[in-house]
Chains A and B, each alone.
Chain A
Amino acid sequence: MISVSPEIWSAITLTLQLATLTTVILLLIGTPIAWWLARSKTWWKEAIGTLVALPLVLPPTVLGFYLLLALGPDGPGGWFAGLWGARTLAFTFEGLVIGSVIYSLPFVVQPIRNSFEAIGERPLEAAATLRASPWRTFTSIALPLARPGFLTGAVLGFAHTIGEFGVVLMIGGNIPGETKVLSVAIFDFVETLRWQEANLIAAGMVFFAFGVILTTTLIEKRWRRSGL
């Protein structure tokens, strides 16, 4: 049995930080997007919906390639980094967060949108006839009713970010403590034939994934039973 080295610990904490921050950001920007997609009557909303869903289909290499250019000195990321005197957002934790938000966007928006749509017109109209303001309707009716969607979205966004590999490999530069996340650490261990360590993290991730999916399913089931 080998112990968990500082190298692996640093990859674990970094990965958890990345996934947590990404999920929080995605819930903040994903909720209004999902609400708009669920409620809007505009004919071009499905074009936006498609844009949001694109990362589901595109290979991570496509995202990684465009991100490498976009984060670099000639792209918007380079301009942004210039605000604090840096040249590029590639090879930084911030760059990974941007990449992860784009990469995991559909996994958060889609379930929340579905939940909003499942509410239907009636509860919202009822609230309106009781003179609830649109904001009040949203916070006291829509948000609580869409709870399962938020749970699924948050879990999927978090888990998908933890499993992210191709994008990080292409824009990360493999810097310990900054961009060397678990998936990249596994890749490195496999390549350098340190298969025991690779096995340790890989098996850990299998258990983690199993636990996450099982727990989510059980929570959803309980909510459904209690009529929430």
Chain B
Amino acid sequence: MSAAGNIRRLATMVLSTALWISLALHANSGEVRVAVAANFTAAASEIAKKFEAESGHAAVLSFGSTGQLYAQISQGAPYGVFLAADQTHPQKILDAGLGAGSPPMTYAIGKIVLWSLDPALIQGDDALQEGNFDHLALANPETAPYGKAAMEAMQALGLAKILEPRLVRGNNIAQTYQFVATGNAELGFVALSQRVGNDNGSQWAVPENLYQPIRQDAVLLRGGENNEAAIAFLNYLSNPEAMRIIAEFGYGNSVDGSSQ
């Protein structure tokens, strides 16, 4: 067979596959792609499962740091809904004209814990004060709101400067968790939601007066404007079942549901 013949055959195959995939996607029109901040991974998966069962729509989740997801959305990533880990980025979405117009809504209030695999290492903030460790993990404060909160807590304790040389930064809160879980960092600031259902090692729930509450906002994106599934998913976040799941994962529920 000639090279040209091969190429033609390959092209036909690629084209027909693409056609088939696009047909399949259209047949299942009730689908929403959701960009989810990494801390909300477990809760979002559970909510999506319930949402799919109840509504018949499909929700496809992508995880990353809030900053990373924002950069993707600003470059036209095909998401319908953005579940950020803060209020700043959803607001930026609106300011940049990337939103569908409706205001952001707070779907969860995040909390941070200091966690170590070593059952004896953490008792209150003593571990931070004494500093008997080489590496303290946190999410990158520049891109991840949970990292920013961790930084605020260390500043409130007056330890930020002293601990700076020992900080290792995860690309998002999931990687931060992994640094501690593999024992590479002796301790780290992770999301309370990641620790729900686990009691290995030792941990300290960082008092909420040491950092700004992590109000996490969701926003409908322009890509989800005319997507029934996207709107349904966003509404489902204030459904009692979803709120039960959110609370179960250690988040505070927003009092009024709107973003203030």
Question: Which residues of A, 62-88, contact B by the 8 Å Cβ criterion?
Answer: 68-69, 71-74, 78, 86-88
Complex contact B140–A88 (CB within 8 A): no
Q: Which of B71, B140, B170, B171 contacts A193 (CB 8 A)?
A: B71
Segment among B31-39, B76-84, B155-163, B180-188 that sits at the interface with chain A:
B180-188
B71 CB contacts on chain A under 8 angstroms: 190-191, 193
User: Does A169 have its Cβ within 8 Å of any Cβ on chain B?
Assistant: yes
Contacts of B134 in A (CB 8 A): 86-88
State A133–B140 Cα separation when bound (angstroms).
58
Residues 24 to 49 of chain A near chain B (Cβ within 8 Å): none
CB pair A91 B143 closer than 8 Å? no
In angstroms, Cα B142 to Cα A174, docked, is 12
Give Cα A174 to B167, complex, Å.
Answer: 9
Residue contact A191 to B135, C-beta cutoff 8 Å: no
Tell me the bound Cα distance from A90 to B176 in angstroms.
13
Q: A87 CA to B185 CA in the complex, in Å?
A: 9
For residue A226, CB closer than 8 A to chain B, the reply is no
A220 close to chain B: CB less than 8 A: no
Quick one: given A71-B184, A86-B134, A175-B169, are A192 and B142 in contact (CB under 8 Å)? yes
Q: Does B179 contact A (CB under 8 A)?
A: yes
- How many residue-residue contacts, CB under 8 A, span A and B? 64
Chain B contacts for A192, CB-based, 8 A: 67, 142-143
Find out whether the CB atom of A174 lies under 8 angstroms from the CB atom of B168: yes
Instruction: Check if A73 sits within 8 Å of B140, measured CB to CB.
Output: no
B227 at interface by CB-CB < 8 Å: no
**In this assembly, does B254 line the interface, its C-beta being within 8 Å of a C-beta of chain A?**
no
A188 lies within 8 A of chain B by Cβ: yes
On whether the beta carbons of A191 and B168 are closer than 8 Å, the reply is no
* Binary B-proximity of A166-179 (CB < 8 A = 1, otherwise 0): 00011001110000
User: Please, how many angstroms separate the alpha-carbon atoms of A22 and B30 in the complex?
Assistant: 51
Determine if B68 and A72 form an interchain contact, defined as CB atoms under 8 angstroms apart. Answer: no
Q: List A contacts of B182 (CB < 8 A).
A: 68-69, 72, 74, 90
- Measured between alpha carbons, how far is A192 from B68 in the docked complex, in Å? 8
Among B74, B142, B168, B186, contact of A173 (Cβ-Cβ < 8 Å): B168
- With A91-B135, A91-B168 in contact, is A174–B178 under 8 Å at CB? no
**Chain B interface residue count, Cβ-Cβ cutoff 8 angstroms:** 25
Give A135-150 as 1s and 0s: 1 = Cβ < 8 Å from B's Cβ atoms: 0000000000000000
Q: B243 near A: Cβ within 8 Å? A: no
Across-interface contacts of B175 in A (CB, < 8 A) = 170
Give the distance in Å from the alpha carbon of A88 to the alpha carbon of B179 in the complex: 11
Residue from B167, B184, B185, B186 having most chain A Cβ neighbours under 10 A:
B184
Asked if A91 meets B184 with Cβ closer than 8 Å, knowing A173-B168, A174-B169, A175-B168, the reply is yes
Instruction: Say yes or no: is B112 at the interface (Cβ < 8 Å to chain A).
Output: no
Residues of the B chain whose Cβ atoms lie less than 8 Å from the Cβ of A169: 171
Closest to B169 in A: A174
In the assembled complex, the Cα of A87 lies from the Cα of B117 at a distance in Å of 14
CA distance A73 to B169 in the complex (A): 18
Q: In the bound complex, what is the Cα–Cα distance between A69 and B143 (angstroms)?
A: 26
Name the A residues within 8 Å of B168 (CB-CB).
91, 173-175
* Complex Cα–Cα for A71 and B168 (A): 15
Scan residues 7-36 of chain B and give those whose CB is less than 8 A from a CB of chain A: none
Judging by beta carbons under 8 Å apart, are B186 and A188 in contact? no
* A177 vs B169: C-alpha distance when bound (angstroms): 13
| Bound Cα distance from A90 to B178, whole angstroms | 12
* CB contact list, B44-87 vs A, under 8 A: 65, 67-68, 70-71, 74
Name the one of A69, A86, A175, A191 contacting B142, with C-beta atoms under 8 angstroms.
A191
The 4 residue pairs across chains A and B that have the minimum distance between CB atoms: A173-B168, A90-B184, A174-B169, A73-B183
Interface residues of B (CB under 8 A from A): 65, 67-68, 70-71, 74, 134-135, 137, 140, 142-143, 167-171, 175, 178-179, 182-186
A residues apposed to B, CB below 8 Å: 68-69, 71-74, 78, 86-88, 90-91, 169-170, 173-175, 188, 190-193
Sample 17 A-B pairs with CB under 8 A, ordered by A number: A68-B182, A71-B184, A72-B183, A78-B183, A87-B134, A87-B186, A90-B179, A90-B184, A173-B135, A174-B169, A174-B170, A175-B167, A188-B140, A190-B71, A191-B65, A191-B142, A193-B71
* Further 10 A-B residue pairs, CB within 8 A, beyond A90-B184, A174-B169: A72-B184, A73-B184, A74-B182, A87-B134, A169-B171, A173-B169, A190-B71, A191-B67, A191-B142, A192-B143
